Chain A
């Protein structure tokens, strides 16, 4: 079974002091750590699990700058066989659609039974690339996949929906799944695999190698900003009696009783 996993290198912003850069359309990234997008690492693991079961190869592909090769190398150490970087520096602004078009051009010549992407990127949170890519490749897709039981020709997948609902699908291959976190436990890389990965070549594709005459950008960021605080939390200190007194004052002052 041949598998393709699309991954993205993203800044870790969950516990960072995020600031807006001078363009007003992006964040300052100088002091941030970068990592493989969380759901992409689950997508990679799911591919490795299927490869262990069926054999075949895993190709990881990423549209990114030079440092994305570090992330691709981690993917090689964790079980991928081939890695491709599409040079982000060759393209101007990107959105979900344009990214999907570029990925489509880069992988349409490759053999695959399944393509995995993460279900959402933690930086822009668009959740567009996976499903758009499936449409462009004209293959069936399932999003938010939390379980896969694949055979040579078909896959039985579970989708996790809002409200605690679960949807079971039977899809024909080749297909694309966007993978939800929690589907598996991503593995560590062994030192042997790390050394092996260090020697592998990462294929780099530039814009001129991509046969797509008209890359469309459908959405553009107008402004990125940190919303002004609308609520404030106040901690009442002192003994229980004192803080209860302060609380009563606030309630009276605000006219809540």
Chain B
């Protein structure tokens, strides 16, 4: 163990410079106030300390993930992959520092050198190989739409509906895609899907750090959209939303994107979507990080819920809108397993169930998946529904 400690604390400007080049340019703005740490969802997990504040400093010194001791390095890389990319830290940072981006710079190097968790490696490879992170067959991608009279997208249709991977393949989430289609058909919206030609938006693999494969996926999707004449895309997942809207333009995308909550809120406001049936339930809305903090869509989901007859809308006190707590699934978190008392999702579900709601309303397939899976092991009487499903029940 000679001088191992010294090796880890040696300053390395070369590593700092390459991380800055890979997206960690915010590091010098940090003055170590620690606000990021106090708003990080890991801070809410009682038994776990997650030192968000130190990532900027460690990167500036070039000592991030630099231990030459195998076990120490395992811990350092685990820390880098604990970040769920919820951007609660960015929201509160006095200098607007994006710690997820700083960590993603390190992730990019680690991915290139095959030095990241095996489960995430499998997620990246499956997305690259078969176009979805679950390793499901391409030919089954449109099975969710069987029997629903959903057309293939054709030029001139108003929207391409893009459910993406969880709603395309995962049984519980398929119901969300089906309900969305039901609402669109009821409102006589002209739309189509890409079906088996649809490929993952690639958001998660970019967050994991697989930048090159993300670029390949993004360019292929943009080409497919252009070849199909797509002008406007309607998405179920905020993860597709943020990637299509904020990141695909860097690679030549020129289509518009709408999240279902935006569109359905608009249809309600313009009288085209009429909610006739009562929904006599207490509903608490969980703001997905990627829809709320990252894209400032807070009011449209609430507008929908407020317009549903009989529905009583509840909020999580202190932890709603921009202060909403992540479900833990972002940036690869959906695929990582932590000890039961070390999970962000349990903290969030406690906050949500403590409101006394009958239903947790979500607007993100990742949140739905995390909540449904975790509720199976919790003794609580609460249901999770996507907003599209609630609308569909009230038509």
Contacts and interface: CB of A to CB of B under 8 A. Distances in A.
B251 interface: no
A169 to B, nearest CB: 27
Contact of A192 (B68, B122, B138): B68
A189 to B, nearest CB: 5
Contacts of B112: 194
Contacts of B38: none
Given A12-B129, A35-B125, 20 more contacts: A15-B125, A16-B125, A16-B129, A16-B130, A36-B114, A74-B113, A188-B77, A189-B110, A189-B113, A190-B65, A190-B66, A190-B68, A190-B76, A191-B62, A191-B65, A192-B12, A192-B15, A192-B66, A194-B112, A195-B15
A32 interface: yes
B351 to A, nearest CB: 34
A128 B24 CA distance: 46
Q: Which of A15, A32, A191 has the most CB of B within 10 A?
A: A191
Contacts of A187: 70, 73
Interface string B11-22: 010110011000
Given A17-B137, A190-B66, A195-B18, A31 B114 contact: no
A33 interface: yes
Interface in A182-212: 187-195, 197
A77 interface: yes
16 contacts: A15-B122, A15-B135, A32-B128, A33-B124, A33-B128, A35-B125, A41-B114, A74-B114, A78-B115, A188-B73, A188-B110, A189-B115, A191-B15, A192-B68, A194-B113, A195-B14
Interface in B88-143: 106, 109-110, 112-116, 122, 124-126, 128-130, 135, 137-138
Contacts of B36: none
B135 A33 contact: no
Interface of A: 12, 15-17, 31-33, 35-36, 41, 73-74, 77-78, 187-195, 197
A213 to B, nearest CB: 38
A73 B114 CA distance: 10
B36 to A, nearest CB: 21
B67 interface: yes
A177 B122 CA distance: 28
Nearest to A199: B14
Contacts of B110: 188-189, 191, 194
Interface of B: 12, 14-15, 18-19, 62, 64-68, 70, 73-74, 76-77, 106, 109-110, 112-116, 122, 124-126, 128-130, 135, 137-138, 213
A183 B205 CA distance: 30
Contacts of B135: 15
A143 B106 CA distance: 38
A195 B114 CA distance: 14
A188 to B, nearest CB: 4
Contacts of B18: 195
Given A33-B124, A33-B125, A33-B129, A191 B106 contact: yes
Given A15-B125, A16-B130, A191-B66, A33 B213 contact: yes
Contacts of B19: 191
A188 B68 CA distance: 10
Contact of A17 (B67, B106, B129): B129
B66 A15 contact: no
Given A192-B66, A195-B18, A15 B12 contact: no
A191 B74 contact: no
B213 A191 contact: no
A188 B115 contact: yes
Nearest to A35: B114
Between B15, B73, B129, B213, the greatest number of chain A beta carbons within 10 A of the residue's beta carbon is seen for B129
B189 to A, nearest CB: 30
Q: Which 3 A-B pairs rank lowest in CB-CB distance, beginning with the nearest?
A: A16-B129, A188-B115, A15-B135
B106 A31 contact: no
A193 B68 CA distance: 8
A237 to B, nearest CB: 12
A15 B118 CA distance: 14
Contacts of B65: 188, 190-191
Nearest to B62: A191
A137 to B, nearest CB: 29
A194 B135 CA distance: 30
B109 A194 contact: yes
A195 B74 CA distance: 18
Contacts of B126: 15
A31 B113 contact: no
Given A188-B73, A190-B67, A190-B68, A17 B130 contact: yes
Nearest to A48: B70
Contacts of B62: 191
Nearest to B130: A17
